[in-house]
């Protein structure tokens, strides 16, 4: 589910995710409430924070009440400091605008792949918000998706060996692997079973 007050951006995000193979519902902040009344199942909510009519945190809490296992991604042109205004925000990943569509695709893929551990309530000593790493230029041309596939065990044995050999020789890919490994560990910690 994509909720964004800027129609062009909302359509762009939705179209990209649909082309990637996901079923996507989209809504403005005014029409989002209709999905709370429907029988549709929502697995992930991607919502802007500051919007007219209602803010993204209030929407996220309403969607979480209706769909307890929903994964939440907050997007905003403001830095993650904006979240300090919302101490009651549910556990979520923060993605700073502007971002690449491929970066959003990576995030959605990671979260849904990790979903088996990302469906429980927040524990007592876990982070409330995880920041998606910003896209950085890679000087070698290896796609970022290859790092994702490696981290999520989606490469066959040969692909895994080739990637590991490459990373040993490429400092740019080694750094990206380090950053994304930390991000995956934070995602796991954010929704680790236990707690209230």
pLDDT digits over 65-117, tens only?
A: 998 888 999 999 998 888 999 988 998 999 999 888 988 998 998 888 887 65
Domains observed in the chain: 2-190 (3.40.50.2300)
pLDDT digits over 108-164, tens only?
A: 988 888 876 554 444 444 457 788 877 666 677 788 788 888 888 888 999 999 999
pLDDT, residue 183, reads: 85
Predicted TM-score (pTM) of this structure: 0.79
Average pLDDT of the chain to the nearest whole number? 85
Identify whether the C-beta of residue 97 lies closer than 8 Å to the C-beta of residue 56: no
């Amino acid at each position: 589910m994509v909720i964004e007050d800027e129609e062009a951006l909302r359509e762009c995000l939705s179209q990209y995710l649909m082309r990637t193979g996901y079923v996507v519902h989209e809504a403005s902040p005014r029409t989002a409430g209709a999905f709370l009344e429907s029988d549709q199942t929502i697995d992930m909510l991607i919502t802007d924070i500051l919007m007219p009519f209602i803010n993204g945190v209030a929407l996220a809490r309403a969607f979480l009440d209706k769909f307890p296992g929903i994964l939440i991604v907050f997007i905003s042109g403001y830095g993650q400091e904006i979240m300090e205004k919302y101490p009651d925000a549910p556990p979520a990943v923060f993605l700073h605008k502007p971002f690449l569509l491929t970066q959003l695709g990576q995030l959605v893929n990671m979260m849904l792949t990790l979903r088996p551990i990302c469906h429980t309530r927040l524990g007592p000593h876990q982070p409330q918000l995880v920041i998606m790493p910003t896209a950085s230029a890679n000087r070698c041309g290896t796609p970022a998706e290859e790092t994702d596939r490696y981290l999520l065990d989606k490469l066959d044995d040969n692909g895994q060996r080739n990637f590991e050999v490459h990373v040993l020789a490429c400092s740019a890919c080694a750094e990206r692997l380090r950053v994304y490994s930390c991000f995956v560990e934070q995602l796991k910690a954010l929704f680790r079973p236990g707690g209230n």
